[in-house]
Every structure is written in C-alpha cells, then in structure tokens.
Amino acid sequence: MVHHSIYISLLANTIKAGTILLFPTIGEIFSERAGILNLGVEGMMLVGAFIGFIVSYITKNPYLGFIAGVIAGGIASLIHAFISITLRGNQIVSGLALTIFGGGFTTFYGQKWINMTLNNTLPIIKIPILNKIPYIGPIFFNQDLIVYLSYITVFVMWFILYRTTTGLNLRAVGENAKAANAMGISVYKVRYIWTFFGGLLAGAGGAYLTTSYAPFWLDSITAGRGWIAIALVIFAMWDPLKALFGAYLFGGINALQFQLQATGTTIPSAILNMLPYIGTFIVITISSIIVKTKHIKPPKELGIPYIREEK
Amino acid sequence: MAEIVLETKNITKMFPETIANKNISFNLKKGEIHALLGENGAGKTTLMNMLYGIYMPTNGDIFINGEKVTIKSPLDAIKLGIGMIHQHFMLVETLTVLENIILGLKEYGFIINKKAVKEKLREIENLYGLKVDSDIKVWQTTVGEQQRVEIIKVLFRGANILILDEPTAVLTPQETQGLFKILKRMKDDGKSIVFITHKLEEVMQIADTITVLRKGEVVKTLLKNETTKSELAKLMVGKTTLRDFQKNKKETNEVILNIENLTVYSDKGTKSLKSINLQVKKGEILGIAGISGNGQKELVQTIAGLKKVAKGKIIFNGLNITNKHPRFISRLGINYIPADRLAMGVAPNLSSIDNAIMRRYYRFPLSKKGLMNYKKAFAYTRMMTKAYKIKLDNPFAPIKLLSGGNMQKLILAREILENPKLLIASYPTRGLDIASTQFFRQKLIEIANKGKAVILASEDLDEILSLSDRIAVMYEGSIVGILEAEKADKNTIGLMMTGAKA
C-alpha cells in the first residue's frame, strides 16, 4: 500500500503540474487558430504568476489572486494583439519582445517578494462519490477548484471550436482570412478576441503555478513552461483534446523530477531540471513526423497579418 | 419593361497611378443576364468590387431598387441582396461544404443546426438543380463543385443580384454548359445576373444584354439579339484588327525532348505525375491542356528542373537532364515562363532592370569577375523594352509596381531573348491585351518555325487550339491522350480533361 500511495501522489501531482501547462496550451491553440502566433506565452505566464502571487499574498485569498493573474495575462496579450493585428507588425518579434518584457517586469517588481511564501493556497475540494473511485478518484477528483475548471475548459473549448458558429468563424479566419472577410466576418475582431483569450489562459497557467503548485516567488519561476506550451500546441495538432494528453505528459515529467529531488536521488539536479526540455525535443521530433505523414497543417494564415484591400 | 434592380451613375474609381473606372453608368434589370464584356484590365472586376463593398468609388452613385446606397463592406452588399462569385473562389478548404455555406451567418444558432441548413440546401437544389455533397471538405471537391458551392452560398443568403467574375475560366466546356443551365433557371426565377467575361461565344450564348467596357469606360450597351460577335469584338478591342497565324509546317521527326516514365511526388506526398511518357519534336508547338491542378504545372516545372524526379528520365538533345540544377538546364537552352508571374516569374521587390537581366547577370558583359556592370544592364533593358514594347516609366522602381500585362511582357521578352532551343510557356498571354497577345503568339510560332520547340501549357483552350501542332491532355497526373491539333476540337479535349480516353 505504501508503494501505491507514492504512485497516486505522483499522478495527482502530474495533474497539478499538467494544469499549469494545459491552460496556456489551450489559449495558444485558439490564438493560433485565429492566425496569431504569440511567442509571448512565457512572458504572459510570468506576469500572471507574479500578479497572482502578490494579490493572493495581500488579500490572503488565492481565488482572488488567480483571477487577478488571469486578467493580468489578458492585458499583457493586448500589447501583442495591438502590434500584430492593428499595426500588422512581425508576430515573432512582437511575441519575443513580450516574453522579454514579462521577464524584465517581474524581475524588477519582484525583487522584494523573492522567497516569500503564500500561507493560503488553493484548497483541495473533494468531489463526492467520484473521489471514491479507486485510483481515478484520488488522482483526478481530489484536486482544487482550478483543476476542475481546467477539465471543463478543455471540453467546452473543444465543443466551441468544432460545433459552434463561433468556432467556425475562428477556424475560417485562421485558414482563409480573405474568404472569411468576404462572408462578413470581421477578421480583426476575431483575432483580437482570441489573442486576448490566449493571454487570459496564459495568465491562468502562471497564476495557478504560484497559487497552488509552487506558492512562493522566484525570478523566472515559470522556468520555460511557456515555451513548452508553444511546443505542445504542435504536439496537440491545434486540437484542445489532444492538448490534454500533452500537458499531462509534461506534467508527469515535472512531477517525477520533483519527486526524485525530494526523495534524494544521486542524479544531479541539473540533469533532472533538463528533463522537460529533453522531453520537448523528443515530443516535437515525434509529432513533427506524425504531422508530416498525416498531412496536418498549421492554420494557413498563421503569422500573416491581415490587410483589407485598399478602398 | 422590367424594373431596374441595380444602377450605377457615373461611377469613377481612381487608384494612385491609374483610373480604373471612368464615369460608368449601367443598369441591371430584374430577371436578366447582363454580360460585362471587356479585355483583361478593362475595369470589369474593379466595377463589380465596388458593388460588393471591396472598393469604394471615388465618385458616382449606386442605386439598388431605385434607392441610393453606400456599400462599405461585403456585409453591406450581402444585406442588400448582392452576391458575388469571385474569380478566385473564396472558400476555406479545410472546412466542409456546409460550414463554408453558413460561414458568417447567425441564423443557425450558436450550436449549428445542421438539419435546418440541409433543409434549405434541399430547397435550393430543387429550385435550381444545384447539387453538392455538403458533408465533405472543400479540398476534396472538384473546381466545378467549388463553383456550385460559391453559387449556393450566395443564394443561401437570399441574393437577388448575382455577380459572376469570369466564372467559366476554370471549367471544362461541359461544366460550362451545366453552369449556363443553372444560370437560366435562376433567371427564370427572377434573379438578376451580372456575368463578367472576355469570351465572346459565351456572351452570345447566355446574355440578354451586353455592356462593353474598354480602358475603364463603357463603350456601348447593346441587346444580344441586335448585335453580332464581330461587332462586339470590334467594340472590345478598338481599332486593332485580328489576323490569323501563319505557320510553315516545318515539323520534323527529330526528337528534342524525351520524357520516359516520369513520376513526381507533390509536397503532400501524393503522386502528382504518374509515369508520364512524352516526346517533343523540333519545329513543333506541343500544347498541354487540362483543368488546373491535374499535373500540367508539375510537368513543366519538372522539365525546367524545379521539381525532384522520383522515377523516370528526361533526355534533352541526347543529354540526360534528370534532376539537374535549373541553371544547368537553362544554359542548355530550355527556358521556362512560369504561370504565376508574381510568385515565380519575377522578384517583386527588385527593380525592372534586375528582373530583366535575371537570366544573364552573371555572364559577360553584364558582369565581370563578380562585379556588375549596370551601364550594360541598363542598355540591355532599354533594348528589351523597345523591341518588345514594354512600358517602363522607371526601370529602377520595384517591378511589382508594373501592371500585370507589362510585367508579363518583360518575363516573356527575358526568356525569348535567351534564344531557347526549347521554350516552356505556361499560360504566356495571361493578362495581355489582344494586340500584345497576338505579338507574342507570333513570337512562339517564329521560334517553332526556326526549328526549335515550344511547350505551351495553358488554361485557355482557344490559345492551345490555335497555336499547337499536337495537344497532350492531362488528367490526374497522367496524359490521357495526345491529339493532332487539326483533328482536335474543343468538345473532345473537354471530355478528355475530365478523364475520358481519346
């Protein structure tokens, strides 16, 4: 039984660590589906993590902190939206700038918060009945509210993408903006909405990190998770359901790394810290091969500014 | 007299460099098919884009059902009952037909009510005989089907005025007849149709009223029953007279190009050419016909060295040129005029001079030991523009600022001046006015008459028929048959383009 409980706590932590990646991955999927490549995920996550942390700390309410982090991520994304949609700037440069900005901003204002710890983290809420299911219960239904919110987000967003007119408009804009415009869809509006949504979810990932998984503040606390999320978008082939698997796979690597460090292994910590990135290489290589053979393509308009013809 | 549903009064559209439309007044009656006839660049599409809210007129008014309107966007146009079927289809290929049809509509709920959509599709099918499978993805459909989807899309939104921009350009003769049947049914149902074209035969077959445009102005509006093809041609072209081509039959049996078992894969990994066998003889013009997307482009690009050969051989003058470098191939005397001029024919941001010397900039006298001699380059460009009547206001300006016709002339001149032994021309006269078209067709014939060879791939069947000695018809990456031009007619070729064996 002892061994079992170790595995169950590892897997429960996998879900938690995976949730940090799941939100930004879903957000980036929707932003890219609209044709906007946002490489600022890492920056938006950092802003979300930082604001989430200090609001939780000050109000002593992790829910308020989480919400504040989500909004902060959304606001950060508007910088990218303005540059790449309205000004039609280069999306790669703008996204990288956003990531650098997020890092600089949180390092500067975070100095006095370094190594501070939250006393009130997101509480565990057991789901009645479901949490009694052997194995499944303690892993999936013995979590905090935000994890449950992430389950719902995946399925709701999948449904919106493939079954509703909103999702149809979004897919059309990302695949053929000119045709979408000819049918009376405002390309700019759709792109603003989903880039903002991507920012909200990146903020959610960051805020979840500091209000639950790692409730303290450190410089660059997201540690490249924003970049992993961008890689997961390709792994997921722009499909929210597949993002779930990718996020939990990397959540598992994170959790394992954490557990090994906690139990005192002889493997140097630097090697352990490398695990997620080595995993990223492997996953991207494999998924690129799959994408190539299955002829799945990124949204056609990805990274291309939309210019309405001159009147 | 039928009521007027659409009227333009003195519409003028100015672009920074040109006047595309000048004082255009025209009206469309209920239940008529009105052809807008004119050459490429006459301003037909510009005019219609103003009715569809893509451009705004610089001057002039538009009236719908007698009321003055301002059309600022396609959405405004749709609300006014105007539907446009663009020359380049506005479809999202990765979505299904049904999804494309309801794109942008709000009536079918947040969660799409497919049942209601399909019911309405059935109504349209019954009314006009427009049938498509609504559950397949657009990329899986044929060009003809895609056009039907475009028409359904417009009808679905309750359009009473339909604008079709060169709708037959991508269709086989049989598909064209099918389209005409549909148009007639729509007309009988009281819809009004604007039919943009430069093809006289189609106008005589389908239109009730004809408005001829030339250089952005209305030349005349006439009733079909009161005019003739030759009158229309004169109005369309102006003073230029048409002449027939003189071809001396100099065709030999000497093979210049021999293609054996050629197989090529597309970027998607599917076979785009399937074991092609083809011979080109000295002194002939070989036409390659086919609906776009059936391998013509891949075939000519492979000969020019731009695609990798997976299997088979290409022999030119006894020399194996399979998978050789494009420059090696062009130095041997094979020159290629690509169909997509902006993507492959020119470097859009470079000057006209740079583009004009692209084939020879690295050779003496234009360069010496790696240094360019721009004086010589300029002189060469001047010679080219003079000899080929290319209008070049500023040879140092980026070539993308040139009109499509002038750009095409420069590309043609550049390749012809290389004195090719085999000229591969993909849709060489696209976008040229009638006089220039004649000029370049004559050039192609001269090349063949000199004992050299020409491969002519074109979507314009008339062009292929009037120039070629033999015509190879392609379908799904294979050559379905090769016809002697004298024995070929449009109907047979049309059938073969859909896969029927000769």
Whole-number Å distance between alpha carbons of B356 and B360: 9
Sheet of B478-484, strand order:
B334-337, B422-426, B453-457, B285-289, B470-475, B478-484
Which of B15, B75, B110 shows the shortest C-beta gap to A165?
B110
B102 touches chain A (CB under 8 A): yes
Tell me whether residues A184 and B92 touch, CB distance under 8 A.
Answer: no
Tell me whether residues A164 and B86 touch, CB distance under 8 A.
Answer: no
B197 and B318, same structural domain?
no
| Distance to chain A for B53, nearest Cα, Å | 9
Q: Which residues of A92-120 are buried (b: 16+ CB within 10 A; e: fewer)?
A: eebbebbbebbbeebeeebeeeeeeebee
B302 and B223, same structural domain?
no
What's the pLDDT score for residue A284?
84
**Which of B45, B82, B92 to probe the A interface (max A CBs under 10 A)?**
B92
In a domain, B392, yes or no: no
> Which chain A residue shows the shortest CA-CA distance from B109?
A165
Whole-number Å distance between alpha carbons of B272 and A237: 26
Which of A179, A310, A311 shows the shortest C-beta gap to B90?
A179
B311 and B188, same structural domain?
no
Which of A176, A179, A184 shows the shortest C-beta gap to B75?
A184
Confidence of residue A1 (pLDDT cuts 50, 70, 90): very low
As a whole number, mean pLDDT of residues A252-273 equals 84
B-chain residues near A175 (CB < 8 A): 92-95
B-chain residues near A239 (CB < 8 A): none
Burial of A81 (0-12, 13-18, 19+ CB in 10 A): buried
A174 touches chain B (CB under 8 A): no
A163 touches chain B (CB under 8 A): yes
> Which chain A residue shows the shortest CA-CA distance from B79?
A184
A179 touches chain B (CB under 8 A): yes
B63 touches chain A (CB under 8 A): no
What's the pLDDT score for residue B239?
58
In a domain, B148, yes or no: yes
Tell me whether residues B90 and A182 touch, CB distance under 8 A.
Answer: yes
Q: Is the ipTM of this complex over 0.90?
A: no
Q: A–B: how many Cβ contacts below 8 A?
A: 74
B-chain residues near A176 (CB < 8 A): 90-93
> Which residue, among A79, A76, A99, has the nearest Cα to A89 in the 3D structure?
A79
Q: Which domain holds residue B136?
A: 4-237
Domain boundary pick from B237, B267, B297? B237
| Distance to chain A for B166, nearest Cα, Å | 18
In a domain, B407, yes or no: no
Say if strands B271-281 and B255-265 run parallel, antiparallel, or are unpaired.
antiparallel
> Which chain A residue shows the shortest CA-CA distance from B53?
A311
Sheet of B209-214, strand order:
B82-85, B161-165, B192-197, B33-37, B209-214, B217-223
The number of distinct structural domains making up chain B is 2
A182 touches chain B (CB under 8 A): yes
**pLDDT, tens digit, 9 for 90 and up, residues A183-209:** 889 999 999 999 999 999 999 999 999
Give how far the C-alpha of residue B439 lies from the chain's centroid of Cα atoms, to the nearest Å. 19
What's the pLDDT score for residue A3?
60
Q: Which residues of chain B are modeled with pLDDT < 50?
A: 240-242
In a domain, B109, yes or no: yes
A269 touches chain B (CB under 8 A): no
Confidence of residue A310 (pLDDT cuts 50, 70, 90): low
Whole-number Å distance between alpha carbons of A2 and A4: 5
In a domain, B246, yes or no: no
What's the pLDDT score for residue B381?
94
A172 touches chain B (CB under 8 A): yes
B209 and B67, same structural domain?
yes
A-chain residues near B104 (CB < 8 A): 169, 172, 180, 183-185
Say if strands B192-197 and B33-37 run parallel, antiparallel, or are unpaired.
parallel
B278 and B157, same structural domain?
no
Q: Quickly tell me which residue has 């609906």 as its tokens.
A: B291
B160 and B301, same structural domain?
no
Whole-number Å distance between alpha carbons of B453 and B252: 10
Tell me whether residues A176 and B91 touch, CB distance under 8 A.
Answer: yes
B112 touches chain A (CB under 8 A): yes
Whole-number Å distance between alpha carbons of A8 and A15: 11
**What is the CATH number for B268?**
3.40.50.300
B299 and B168, same structural domain?
no
B307 and B230, same structural domain?
no
Tell me whether residues B86 and A182 touch, CB distance under 8 A.
Answer: yes
**pLDDT, tens digit, 9 for 90 and up, residues B441-491:** 888 999 999 889 999 998 777 788 889 999 999 988 999 999 998 888 888
**pLDDT, tens digit, 9 for 90 and up, residues A35-44:** 999 999 999 9
What's the pLDDT score for residue B231?
85
B279 and B158, same structural domain?
no
Q: Decide: pTM greater than 0.95.
A: no
B327 and B190, same structural domain?
no
CATH of domain A2-294: 1.10.3470
B115 touches chain A (CB under 8 A): no
| Distance to chain B for A35, nearest Cα, Å | 14
pLDDT at A80 over 90: yes
What's the pLDDT score for residue B250?
59
Whole-number Å distance between alpha carbons of A278 and A231: 12
Whole-number Å distance between alpha carbons of B230 and B237: 11
Count Cβ atoms below 10 Å from residue A206 Cβ, excluding itself: 38
Q: What share of residues in chain A are helix, strand, coil (percent, to 5)?
A: 75, 5, 25
B137 and B42, same structural domain?
yes
Tell me whether residues A164 and B111 touch, CB distance under 8 A.
Answer: yes
Whole-number Å distance between alpha carbons of B40 and B434: 9
| Distance to chain B for A74, nearest Cα, Å | 25
**pLDDT, tens digit, 9 for 90 and up, residues A210-247:** 999 999 999 999 999 999 999 999 989 999 999 999 99
As a whole number, mean pLDDT of residues A123-137 equals 91
Tell me if B20 sits within 8 A of B57, measured CB to CB.
no
A115 touches chain B (CB under 8 A): no
B216 and B104, same structural domain?
yes
A169 touches chain B (CB under 8 A): yes
Tell me whether residues B105 and A171 touch, CB distance under 8 A.
Answer: no
> Which chain B residue shows the shortest CA-CA distance from A291?
B268
B-chain residues near A311 (CB < 8 A): 54-56
